[in-house]
Each structure stands twice: as C-alpha cells, then as structure tokens.
C-alpha cells in the first residue's frame, strides 16, 4: 500500500522525519518496501513567467517566448502550445532536466532555426495528468523562480507491505493509528464535514440476502455538481497509485484508501425501482466497470434494482449505473459483505479489486454509519447538493471478542520484558478495552485477534520488535547427533543424483486445475479445496508430472529447445475420515531435443522411453533401491503411451516407479507438441534399510577391489518374440548368485536365420572369481547353469 507523508500527516500529528517514520513502520511489523520522492523527478523544473510571445518566423504553429526564470536575464523558449501567451505563469524545464513522462533530457537546441533554452511543460509531460492540449497554467500569485516541486507541495511516498491479517491497516488512518500507538505522534480524530439531512430517502433500500450482505446503508444526495476533484485529493490518490477520474468517483476511492472502507455511488437517473442486495440467478450477466461482462451464479451476492443487476457485491460496480459528468442525483451505498462469500466470488470470476481485497479480509463493521456520514459530508462540501436521511438496513457483526490476558505471557512468548502499565497503554492506544482484571475487549475491526498469543504480538511489535534480544539455543556438550531424518537424507541424495544427471530442479504449485488433476487420476480421491487461491488452483496434485509438463510448456513457448526438469515433492489424496494422505514422490520430464543437429550426427534426436528408463534406474539406485531385483512390467497409466512405457516393481504389486513416453492425448490436453518422456518415482514404496545397531560410525566406508580379474562370457539365445529381455537377464543372474556378478544385453536380432515368432538376444555375463581363478571345467559348469536357467523362460542356446 502506498501513501504520501502529507496524507499520513492529515491523520497523524507528528514531527518525525521520513527516516524515523520508515524505521517505526518496520519496527511495528509494517515492512517498508520502498520510498519514492516525486521532487527528485521534478528537479530542474521551476515556476516561470512568460514576458512575451511572438510568432515563429518559420512555423505557423510555433511561438517564440521570452520567459523570466527568476534568475538573471530572460531565456528564449520555442513553444507550440495553443494556450501559451504573454503574462501567464507556467512550468519551465531547464537544460539538464529529465522529462518524467518519457525520460528525455532537455538541452539547448535550435528549432526551425530559432534557439530554444528548455521547454514549457504540460501536465502529461510531468506525469501529473492526461492533459496535453496546452502547457500548465499556474495562478498569478505563483512565485517565479521557485522549484515547481516545492510549489506543488510534493512529498515522499512510502510503500508498505500490509500482511493479510491486518485489514485494519489497509487505509492511511489505520497506519496512523499504529504509529501513534508506537509513540510517533498523536492520532487526529476523524473530521466529518457538517451537513444537514432533510427528508426521507426517496428510494427503497433493502437486503434480500442477509447472509451475503448483512448490512446495507445508503442515502440519496440531489443536485450535486460532478467534475474534477480538487488538487489536494488528486495528489493523495496519485500517491497511492490511483488515477483521478471525477469528483464523485474520487471521493469513494479516497474513503477506501484513507479509511479502508469501500463505497459506491450510483446515478439515480439510471435506477429503476428499489435497490437491494440479493443472490444472483444462475447464468445472470453484468457489465462491470472494467467494461467486461461476467456470468454469475447463485452463490454470488449482487446489488440490483427492480430491472437489472447493478454490480457484483463487494467486488466491482456495474458500468450501466456509473456516474458521469452530467450526473446530478446520486445514491450512496456503504454495505457490509460476508468475507468468505466475497473471496469465493472473486476467485470464480478472476476479479482482483481493491474493494474485494478489503472485504474478503474483513472491513471495520463499526465504520458503516460514520463512513456514510463522512462520504456524504465530503460530497456536499465539494459537489454541493442536498442529502436525504440515511437508511440503515440490517446490522453488521456487533459482538466484540473478549480475551483473558496474562501479562507474563509477553515475556514467555515474546522474549521481552514489558511493564504491565506499558502493556495496558499499548493495548488501549490500539483501541482495545482493558479491564482491571485483564479481560481485553477487542475492537471489531481486529478480526485477527483469536487468543492471548495475538495480544502478546500486539504488545511486542508496538514495544519494538528490534528490542527482542537474539538468544542462541542451548547446545549440549559433545558431538551433535544427526538431526535429519531418513526421509530427508534420502531426498538430499536424490536431489544430488538428479542434478548430477543433468536435470534442473523445478518447484511447481501443489495445486492444479480440476480438469488437469482429473487427467492424472483414475479414482475419485482427488483432494479438492473448499477455499482455493483461484479456480485454477482448486485441487491438490495427485501427481508431480502435470506441474512439470506445464513448466516444460512454458519453457517451450519461450524458445527453449530442450527441457530436462525434476521435482521432489508430495502427491496428495483424500485419506480416511477427511485426513490428508501425502506421499513423497520424484517426478522427471524430458522434452524437446536430446541432442542438437550437427555435422556429426545429422538430425536432432528427441528423448525416448529408454532415456526415461535410464533416468528412473539411476535415481532408484541413488535411493538405495535393489535395482538388480526389479521387474519391468506394463500398466504405467493411461497418461503414458501403452507401447512405450512401463513400471519398475519389486514384486508384482509394489510399484517403485513408472516411466515412458506421454500419451498423445495427454500431450494434446497440455497443448504440447513432439515426444515427451516422463518418470515418476514413488519414494514411499522404496523399502527402508534396516536400522543399524551399536554406536554411530563417522568413518568413510572402505572398498577393496577383487584380487582376481573378472571373466566375461557371451551367450546368444533364441527366445519367443514377446519375451522381455529383463526376464531373461533376471533368470540368468539368479542361476549362480555367487559367481555371476552382472549380465547385460548387447544385441537383439530378428531376420535371416531366426525362426518366425522368435528373436535372438545376446547377453554378456560377468563372472568374478573369489580366491582362485576359474578352471575350464568350472566355467563350463557355470555356462551349463546359465543355459538351464534360460531354458526355464523359454530360451534355447543359439547354434
């Protein structure tokens, strides 16, 4: 939230410097994100007096001005503004000044052969408005030669981060209240301009949705004169990043930004019958102020008249009943909306507005009547008109929370010793009522206070967070035992292994759109959120692959030729009795080019299922899984290509990983082109190592290579065409677990010399002698054992 120091001092009587204000804000928990000084952007611009204006000798639309800068002789300036004339006062940019709107540095130059020293400026050029039809005209009493920034009264603008639990500080007055409680000045009372209300409100106001809109206050003001708002208000709105529109609209924005109270003004000439809050009808539409049409449903609260929807309650008003320059009679609306309803509506419609932000966090329910009177007083003072009596329909929350407080908690929880009298003063200055027995009544605007710990936070932050000492945690003597759990150690190993394999780590959202999540599950156990961040983040992810696919898609859209990403996180499912079921998982996505095209390899190569399998086995080995005992089986899931995917299992039911190429339907759902490989490791399925006994050893494990050289023997088998090579390898490895230390496929052949329905698989078997070298007789026995084991899976030695 942004505001100028001038605006802050409208509500806070203080002599504090800018630095002291910023330090105090950060100390009490409102982090200062930045400070802007508009006077720096206006350096080099000053109030000037046009002494004479003569026609340019070489241009019909240009004039040559003689301008008094207040220092020495007048300067000559060429100007094309139609309102430039002798005797007027304006703003002159001298050589060296930088124009705020475009960053152009002014220099002395010749324009159509006539020398020009500087530039007379328009409001748009100085970022002070949209007017560009002529140069700025200043009053006759403007002091020539003075800095324009000083003349305008520019003040520094502070940008603070307001945490979501502090909606009471989403107005300048709330910030001033906190600073006053911290001793930085005195809070000024809210000054409500006087006005006289006469006559009953000529329009019926009611709420037909007491749940969504518990309170609806309003009144009519007739014979107002709309137009531009005064300079002081425009300056304050601009400091907050708001564009001034018109007096009536600016006043509602001023009320919201100054006091955190959204309000709305309707043009009475555009209303038909009564105005009321109600539930929207399914499929009902409204044209909002942003000129977009929104389709509503029955969960949303709207403001309507007898003929149409006027606006989305608490989110955005409608375009059809907005005030214009010619508006003369207006209806003021100040309502209280249910925060949860506002949040759901905003997320469904994808609308993020200043009003929604405040309503869904909780506005002050006690400020409805005073807010209505304040807005009424400002309108009648600045726009004229006659106000009717106010109509108060319904009632906002009015039951204050009472919290029993023990002052000793401040020391115990907050780590700082604060005297009881100071604690009482802090809470009182913040608007809490403290009884003699420390029963604390919370102001209704502080809906974030739930218990004594929250009161400790209030005391400590106002006392000063910087006064809390840094105290090291106690440490026992000796060597500290490892604190990381086995799961944490496993995840660290996998991160290193994945990075070492050339993969980049990604961190994606744990939430997915419902249709995307449904594509990656075959059951109804999706964990849907009742209060999601947005409709696109409504379901907890049942797989890590969709998030990585979306990340790969974004990379491709931005020109990345290859994406190799992994993520280590959790999958989420509905557990029993509403509990969450979280499962540690590692996902990998490989898309784009595996190798680029080149003179040596010709065309670029894409990733394939074997790349996915290699990645899966590498990571499983790093995780300590018994990769030599794994079975390769199908059923990787409908999201994978059925002929180019598989699972790695430890036994027929325990699936450790799935890998392969994404199904074309999956790629289409994610709007992706080209082959994409993926891997998903289920870490919860990897068997844990048995806990060791005895003291913890910090010695590096030793490894002694075999004394004797290994021996390799090649075998070629004829096997059924549908036999998986892994089944043959598994059978061979198991034939002699003492002497056989490895087996791998090095050739697969079909064609001449191989019977139809069969294929030839050649494998290399590694034999490791133990205490003596193998003799020919021993090698033959091992070979016979291998052949016999291969025969069990339908393989015969090829002649």
Binding residues for Mg(2+): 448, 454, 457-458
Is the distance from CB of 313 to CB of 305 less than 8 angstroms?
A: no
* Nearest C-alpha neighbor of 329 from the set 409, 370, 383: 383
Give CA–CA dist 607/592, Å, rounded. 7
Cite the DSSP H helix spans in 43-167.
Answer: 148-152
Is the distance from CB of 214 to CB of 338 less than 8 angstroms?
A: yes
Is the distance from CB of 122 to CB of 88 less than 8 angstroms?
A: no
Is the distance from CB of 702 to CB of 784 less than 8 angstroms?
A: no
Q: CB-hemisphere CA count at 13 Å for 679?
A: 29
> Residue 576 corresponds to which tokens in the numbers above?
């029993």
Is the distance from CB of 48 to CB of 69 less than 8 angstroms?
A: yes
* Nearest C-alpha neighbor of 495 from the set 486, 505, 484: 505
Task: Say if strands 275-279 and 205-207 run parallel, antiparallel, or are unpaired.
Answer: parallel
Is the distance from CB of 518 to CB of 666 less than 8 angstroms?
A: no
> Residue 99 corresponds to which tokens in the numbers above?
């124009």
Beta-strand ranges (E) seen in 264-378 are: 264-267, 275-279, 285-287, 293-295, 301-305, 309-312, 316-317, 330-336
> Residue 382 corresponds to which tokens in the numbers above?
């600045």
**Percent of residues in the chain assigned helix, strand, coil, to nearest 5:** 30, 25, 45
Is the distance from CB of 373 to CB of 221 less than 8 angstroms?
A: no
Bridge partner list, 658: 647, 680
Task: Return the DSSP state at 653.
Answer: S
Give CA–CA dist 648/605, Å, rounded. 25
Give CA–CA dist 798/717, Å, rounded. 5
Scanning the structure block, which residue is given the tokens 């050289």?
709
Is the distance from CB of 69 to CB of 144 less than 8 angstroms?
A: yes
Is the distance from CB of 571 to CB of 509 less than 8 angstroms?
A: no
- With b for 16 or more beta-carbon neighbours within 10 A and e for fewer, the 407-445 pattern comes to beebeeebebebeeeebbbbbebbbbebeeebebebbbb
Binding region? 448, 454, 457-458
Q: What is 236-299 written as a DSSP string? A: HHHHTTPPP--HHHHHHHHHHHHHS---EEEEGGG--S-EEEEEPPTT-EEEBTTS-EEE--TT
């Amino acid at each position: 939230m942004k505001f100028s120091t001038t605006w802050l001092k409208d509500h806070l009587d203080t002599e504090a410097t800018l630095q002291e204000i910023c330090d105090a804000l950060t100390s009490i928990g409102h982090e200062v994100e930045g400070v802007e000084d508009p006077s720096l952007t206006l350096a080099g611009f000053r109030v000037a007096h046009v002494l004479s204006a003569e026609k340019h000798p070489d241009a019909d639309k240009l004039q040559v001005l003689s301008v008094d800068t207040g220092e020495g002789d007048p300067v000559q300036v060429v100007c094309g503004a139609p309102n430039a004339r002798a005797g007027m006062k304006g703003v002159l940019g001298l050589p060296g000044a930088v124009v705020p709107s475009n960053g152009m540095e002014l220099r002395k130059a010749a324009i159509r052969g006539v020398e020009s020293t500087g530039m007379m400026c328009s409001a748009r050029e100085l970022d002070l408005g949209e007017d560009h039809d002529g140069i700025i005209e200043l009053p006759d009493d403007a002091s020539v030669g003075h800095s324009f920034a000083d003349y305008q009264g520019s003040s520094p603008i502070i940008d603070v981060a307001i945490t979501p639990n502090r909606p009471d500080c989403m107005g300048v007055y709330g910030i001033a209240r906190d600073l006053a409680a911290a001793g930085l000045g005195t809070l000024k009372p809210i000054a409500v301009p006087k006005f006289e209300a006469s006559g009953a409100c000529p329009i019926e106001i009611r709420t037909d949705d007491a749940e969504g809109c518990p309170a609806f206050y309003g009144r009519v003001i007739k014979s107002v004169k709309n137009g531009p708002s005064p300079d002081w208000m425009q300056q304050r709105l601009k400091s907050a990043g708001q564009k001034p529109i018109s007096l009536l609209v600016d006043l509602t924005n001023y009320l919201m930004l100054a006091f955190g109270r959204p309000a709305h003004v309707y043009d009475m000439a555009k209303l038909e019958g009564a105005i009321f809050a109600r539930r929207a009808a399914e499929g009902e539409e409204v044209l909002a102020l942003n000129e977009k049409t929104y389709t509503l449903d029955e969960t949303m609260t709207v403001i309507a008249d007898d003929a149409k929807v006027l606006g989305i309650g608490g989110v955005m008003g409608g375009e059809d009943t907005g005030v214009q320059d010619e508006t003369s009679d207006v209806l003021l609306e100040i309502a209280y909306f249910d925060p949860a309803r506002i949040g759901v509506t905003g997320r469904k419609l994808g609308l993020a507005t200043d009003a929604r932000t405040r309503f869904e966090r909780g506005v002050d329910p006690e400020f409805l009547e005073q807010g209505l009177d304040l807005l009424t007083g400002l309108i009648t003072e600045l726009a004229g008109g006659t106000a009717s009596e106010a109509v108060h329909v319904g009632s906002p929350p009015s039951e204050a929370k009472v919290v029993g407080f023990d002052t000793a908690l401040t020391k115990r929880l907050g780590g700082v010793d604060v005297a009881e009298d100071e604690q009482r003063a802090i809470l009182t200055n913040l608007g809490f009522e403290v009884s003699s027995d420390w029963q604390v009544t919370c102001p209704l605007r502080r809906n974030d206070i739930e218990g004594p710990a929250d009161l400790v936070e209030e005391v400590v932050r106002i006392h000063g967070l910087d006064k809390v000492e840094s105290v090291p945690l106690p440490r026992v003597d000796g060597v500290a035992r490892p604190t990381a759990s086995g799961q944490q150690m496993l995840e660290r190993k996998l991160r290193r292994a994945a990075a070492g394999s050339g993969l980049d780590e990604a961190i994606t959202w744990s939430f997915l759109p419902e249709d995307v999540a449904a594509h990656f599950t075959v059951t109804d156990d999706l964990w849907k959120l009742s209060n999601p961040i947005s409709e696109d983040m409504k379901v907890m992810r049942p797989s890590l692959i969709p998030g990585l696919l979306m990340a790969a898609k974004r990379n491709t859209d931005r020109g990345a030729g290859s994406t190799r990403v992994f993520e280590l996180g959790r999958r989420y499912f509905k557990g029993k009795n509403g509990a969450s079921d979280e499962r540690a998982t590692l996902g990998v996505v490989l898309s784009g080019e595996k190798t680029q095209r080149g003179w040596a390899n010709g065309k670029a190569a894409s990733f394939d299922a074997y790349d996915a399998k290699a990645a899966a086995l590498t990571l499983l080995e790093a995780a300590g899984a018994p990769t030599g005992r794994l079975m390769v089986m199908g059923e990787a899931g409908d999201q994978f290509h059925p002929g180019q995917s598989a699972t790695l299992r430890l036994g027929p039911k325990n699936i450790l990983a799935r890998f392969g190429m994404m199904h074309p339907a999956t790629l289409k759902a994610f709007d992706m082109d080209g082959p994409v490989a993926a891997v998903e490791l289920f870490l919860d399925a990897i068997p844990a190592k048995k806990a060791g006994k005895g003291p913890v050893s910090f010695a590096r494990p030793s490894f002694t290579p075999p004394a004797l050289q290994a021996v390799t023997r090649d075998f070629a088998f004829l096997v059924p065409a549908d036999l998986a090579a892994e089944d043959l390898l598994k059978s061979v490895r198991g034939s002699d677990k003492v002497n056989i230390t490895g087996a791998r496929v090095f050739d697969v052949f079909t064609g001449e010399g191989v019977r139809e329905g069969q294929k030839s698989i050649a494998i290399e078997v590694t034999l490791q002698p133990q205490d003596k070298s193998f003799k020919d007789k021993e090698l033959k026995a091992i070979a016979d054992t291998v052949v016999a084991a291969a025969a069990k899976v339908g393989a015969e030695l090829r002649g």
